[in-house]
Amino acid sequence: MPPLNPLQRAAFTATSLGRFVRSANRAGLLGTEGKLKATLLTLPTLARYRFTTARELEQGSNVCPERNALIDDDGVLTYRQLRNQTRTVARWLLAQKEERGLDALRIGVMARNGRGIIIPMGAKGYAGGELFLLNVGSSPEQLAGIFEENNVNVLFIDDEFADRIPHESDIMQQVQVIWAHTSTAHGTYDSIDNIVAAGDEDLPRLPAFPEHGNIVLMSSGTSGIPKGILRPEPVLPFVVAGYLDAVPWRSGMAVQITASMFHTWGWSAVNVSLGARNTIVTQRVFNPENVFRQIDHYRCDGLLSSPIFFKQMLDLPGNERWDTSRLKFIASAGNALTPVIVERMTERFGPILANYYGSTELALAACAEPQLIAADPTVAGRVPPGTILRIYDDNDQEVSTGQVGRIFLNNETALKGYSNPETPIVTIDGLVEMGDLGYFDADGYLHVLSRNDDMIIVGGENVHPQSVTQTLERMPGIDDVHSGGVDDENTFQRIAVWVVRTLDDVGQKLTAEHVREWVRDNLADHSIPRDVNFVDELPRNATGKVVPRLLPPSQRGE
């Protein structure tokens, strides 16, 4: 990927550093407890570990060792305990590297939220190497392809995914498997628990300055081998200022993280939370009632999640019995907020919902504080410090304010490339294409309309399927809905919708013509769906995004 030129780099580095320091001081990211001690310890740990999970565990153990760092399904760990366990696993990894004669540690992790994924994240920073965060929906065939393409030599995996391990593949001869989380008795492989229990007395010392490899996040893998997206762990956390500016995310808080930690949003949330010396509260499998219980019981100050999970929380009968009044902010990312979700969240929790927009390849691109979201639920927000974002037309020319185009950006955590170097990257002026269409309004706020390949042309008119989805979300009788394009011999393309009815009388009486009439009354004629498909549920991945390839084929409407 072409780097930013010196002028571009200087342009945002100077302003970003100042904004980061101001934001970090407000949040306590640089240390409010024992501030002199924290400040003296910050630079050495930053020099050794950069802005990695290891650095935040090390710094947290130095300045607030007895504060709870993590509350998960397996119990409670203080910063000192989490740091010590992570260092033990890192030293065990170095022992394996020596014994097996490995040139480098290339560590795969396929685990749900909790210590089973956080400890390997931190161990990578302490020991050095490259970390591959694997989608928990990966198949054996996909895993075999990932291991072969990326030379993975260690795999931390939850034992519930034992049937996904590609035992029949020759590639497994080079992969050492470790259980990240164990729910039943498994004697086949060692586990993180056993490694920690054995101690580190005879294990190699940690390097003073580890060789920091990439964090490799995998695409959802809708077909074939998922793409490995090479992301550097930042030397200085300029982009973090965007997260801290949008919400009152402060030092010493308790935050509930529902966002999947193997995705960009969850991985970012973990590192920012540890950097702010927060107590992370999480659960391996999403359960809306348990989220409410955790917010109430642990007096959580923040909730970091995604729209699909918000909907399930809001739909939970009797959710008002849980006290959520301590929440100071709710941060959303992973997929698009809709006006209906914003309205319902504001009614239930108050005006505290913020939105982060980004991608697996490019991390944070824009952020919108609660006041902005409340005024306009469709806005993506302002571009954070450390990021250059521009919008170009199909002729690769930058567009003017208000004009829709393709979104391009670059920042310190942008992808360096793909693990398969033959995977193309579209760039203009050193900025990388996000794959979305959007525009800047007169106030400089970014608006995102749809994916590039989602927009369809109906009889010469551009139609963004998301606008149809947002309109139908308000329709009585509809519980869930997805919109997309289908080929049409008369108008080139038309809209099709997949609808999940509510279980009440209104939903059961809902017809295709009712759906079309609702769209006809609220949008232009070219947005009226040709096909209305009624389904029992929509296929969604771990972040809540609908997986179009798993939808039933659209049936032609009359």
CATH number at residue 481: 3.30.300.30
Where b means 16+ CB within 10 Å and e means fewer, 242-274 reads bbbbbbbbbbebbbbbbbbbbbbbbbbbbbbbb
Which residue carries 């952020």 as its tokens?
Answer: 367
Task: Record the tokens describing residue 171, joined without a space.
Answer: 């590639």
Which residue carries 């740091």 as its tokens?
Answer: 83
| pLDDT value of residue 224 | 58
Tell me the CA distances in angstroms from 324 to 251, 329, 557, one per residue in order. Answer: 19, 11, 45
Task: Record the tokens describing residue 535, joined without a space.
Answer: 């389904």
**Residue among 191, 214, 202, 109 nearest 157 (CA):** 109
Angle between helices 53-63 and 79-100 (to 10 degrees): 140
- pLDDT tens digits, the chain, 558 residues: what are they? 444 444 444 444 444 445 555 555 555 555 444 454 555 556 677 778 887 899 999 999 999 999 999 999 999 999 999 999 999 999 999 999 999 999 999 999 999 999 999 999 999 999 999 999 999 988 899 999 999 999 999 999 999 999 999 999 999 999 999 999 998 766 789 999 999 999 999 999 999 999 999 899 887 554 457 788 888 776 665 666 667 778 899 999 999 999 999 988 999 999 999 999 999 999 999 999 999 999 999 999 999 999 989 999 999 999 999 999 999 999 999 888 888 999 999 999 999 999 999 887 777 889 999 999 988 988 999 998 778 999 999 999 999 999 999 999 988 777 888 888 888 889 999 999 988 999 999 999 999 988 877 778 786 777 888 889 989 999 999 999 999 988 887 777 899 999 999 999 999 999 999 999 999 999 888 899 999 999 999 998 777 788 888 899 998 755
Report yes or no on 221 lying in a domain.
no
Report yes or no on 294 lying in a domain.
no
**How many other C-beta atoms can be found within 10 angstroms of the C-beta atom of residue 461?**
12
**Residue among 298, 311, 356 nearest 331 (CA):** 356
CA–CA distance, 531 with 187 (Å, rounded to integer): 52
User: 305 pairs with which residues across the strands?
Assistant: 332
Report yes or no on 518 lying in a domain.
yes
**Residue among 511, 473, 265, 252 nearest 378 (CA):** 473
Report yes or no on 355 lying in a domain.
no
Which residue carries 């970390």 as its tokens?
Answer: 131
Task: Record the tokens describing residue 54, joined without a space.
Answer: 């290891």
Q: Is 437 helix (H, G, I), strand (E, B) or coil?
A: strand
The DSSP code for 38 is H
| pLDDT value of residue 195 | 96
**How many other C-beta atoms can be found within 10 angstroms of the C-beta atom of residue 415?**
23
Nearby residues of 429 by Cβ (< 8 Å), 6 or more positions away: 390, 408
Q: Is 186 helix (H, G, I), strand (E, B) or coil?
A: coil
| pLDDT value of residue 13 | 45
Task: Record the tokens describing residue 65, joined without a space.
Answer: 């060792």
Sign of CA dihedral 288, 294, 300, 302: negative
| pLDDT value of residue 557 | 59
| pLDDT value of residue 25 | 58
Question: Phi/psi class of residue 151: alpha, beta or left (left: φ > 0; alpha: ψ in -120 to 50)?
Answer: left
Domain count across the chain: 1
Beta strand 106-110 with 279-281: parallel, antiparallel or unpaired? unpaired
With vertex at residue 419, the alpha carbon angle to CA 413 and CA 422, rounded to the nearest 5 degrees, is: 115
Q: Is 115 helix (H, G, I), strand (E, B) or coil?
A: helix
Report yes or no on 198 lying in a domain.
no
Domain range holding 487? Answer: 456-550
Nearby residues of 395 by Cβ (< 8 Å), 6 or more positions away: none
Which residue carries 């691109």 as its tokens?
Answer: 365
Report yes or no on 390 lying in a domain.
no
Report yes or no on 509 lying in a domain.
yes
**How many other C-beta atoms can be found within 10 angstroms of the C-beta atom of residue 202?**
8
| pLDDT value of residue 27 | 56
Where b means 16+ CB within 10 Å and e means fewer, 383-394 reads bbbbbbbbbbee
**Helices (H), ranges, 416-528:** 465-472, 505-508, 512-522
Task: Record the tokens describing residue 155, joined without a space.
Answer: 């795999």
Report yes or no on 285 lying in a domain.
no
Residue 236's Cβ-count burial label (10 Å; 0-12, 13-18, 19+) is: middle
The values of phi and psi at residue 482, to 5°, are -135, 140
